[in-house]
Amino acid sequence: MLKGFCCGTFDPITIGHVDIIERAAKLCDKVVVGVVVNYAKSSYFTLEERTQLVEAALAHIKNVEVVSFSEHLPTYVQEQGFDMIIRGLRNGSDFEYEIGLAQLYDYFLKGSCETVYIMTKPEYSYISSTIVRQNFELGADISGWVPSSVYKLMKKFRNR
């Protein structure tokens, strides 16, 4: 059984993220999506809210499980026996950042798990969680950038 791990802060999850995860689910028997605590960022949504957003966005994919965690990623990946870490790439800037991560993961994992990249579809290449949050805060219509279930929850959470 091929197990993939796809992680991110998902603050919030976008249609680009969903597309990458849907495509990863076709490559793996099981994909675990990890909603992470990123100590280098301050999140707009809480870990619990982000996990709910991801669960809502991915409920239609049968072989996907959503977890939240704050552990050292390579250690978690090893302990859980994942075959691959799945990441999405939008552009050259993502590549520059991601190549360093892949090398870091390989250092800790010593070849026991591969980092696999899936290129975003061109129509999603400009969408980022940051762009979504900024426009959401300004009251813009972001419904084309996030799944409808996510948009509804975002509005609910904003009114907390």
User: Which residue of the set 3, 72, 90, 125 is catalytic?
Assistant: 90
What are the start-end ranges of the E strands in the chain?
3-8, 30-36, 64-69, 84-89, 114-119
Contacts of 19 (CB under 8 A, 6+ apart): 120, 121, 124
User: Which residue of the set 23, 30, 41, 93 is catalytic?
Assistant: 41
Q: Is 41 a catalytic residue?
A: yes
Q: Is 60 a catalytic residue?
A: no
User: Which residue of the set 3, 17, 50, 87 is catalytic?
Assistant: 17
Q: Is 129 a catalytic residue?
A: yes
Q: Give the separation between CA 150 and CA 44, rounded to whole angstroms.
A: 14
Give the residue numbers annotated as catalytic, written as ranges: 17, 41, 90, 129
